[in-house]
Amino acid sequence: MFVLGSFSEVKDSIVKVLSGRKVFIIGVGNDLRGDDYVGSYVASNLRLRGLNNVVDAGLSPESFLGVAVNARPEVVVFIDAVKAGLNPGFLVFGSLKEIEELEVVFPTTHKPSYSMLRRYLEYMLPKAEQYLLGIQVSDISFGSPMTSDVKRTADILVKVLSTLLQ
């Protein structure tokens, strides 16, 4: 399953995959690069709303894979900034494996690649599904703030995910 578009176009797919399941969220982002911060922003705000199976991994998602493995989730979701040729704030949602095969670019500076993260999680959590929830960026220049379109989508995601995953 792979969907992209505005939040209203992608919401049903997100709800279908995550509802009633044990989910672990890894937010990825760089707070110094505007819209690139979006994954960390969503994760931080989900934590503030009381969700425990969420980490703000910043630039090092690989450093938090052990935490995800220990949580034994049914679903692992990475939330990150993407360059997918969409309108700013639009979403990309699909399995990590599917998204790897597409020409979706991750503007973050984190290492290693999602391909390596996926393989590690497949080994450690063979029954867990892995997804990427990507938010199309507009401005990732150094020192810029998050743009209004991206922040609006992030705030909607925080609200919906916090309700869905309580």
* CATH code at position 157: 3.40.50.1450
| The model's pTM | 0.94
What is the model's pLDDT at position 106? 59
Number of other residues whose CB lies within 10 A of the CB of residue 106: 21
Instruction: Work out the end-to-end distance of the chain between its first and last CA atoms, rounded to an integer number of angstroms.
Output: 24
Strands 91-95 and 2-5: antiparallel
Q: What share of the chain is helix, strand, coil (3-state, %, to 5)?
A: 45, 25, 35
Distances (CA, A) of 57 to 2, 8, 17, 102: 24, 27, 22, 24
The residues pairing with 77 across neighbouring beta strands, listed in sequence order, are: 25, 131
Number of folded domains in the chain?
1
Alpha carbon distance 140, 130 (integer Å)? 26
What is the model's pLDDT at position 18? 97
pLDDT block averages, 10 residues each, the chain of length 166: 92 96 96 95 97 95 95 97 92 88 57 80 96 95 96 98 93
Q: Which of 138, 132, 55 is nearest to 95 (CA)?
A: 132
- What one-letter code names the amino acid at 39? G
What is the model's pLDDT at position 147? 98
Alpha carbon distance 75, 155 (integer Å)? 22
> What residue numbers bound the domain in which 6 lies?
2-164
Strands 129-136 and 91-95: antiparallel
Find where tokens 């052990």 sit: 66
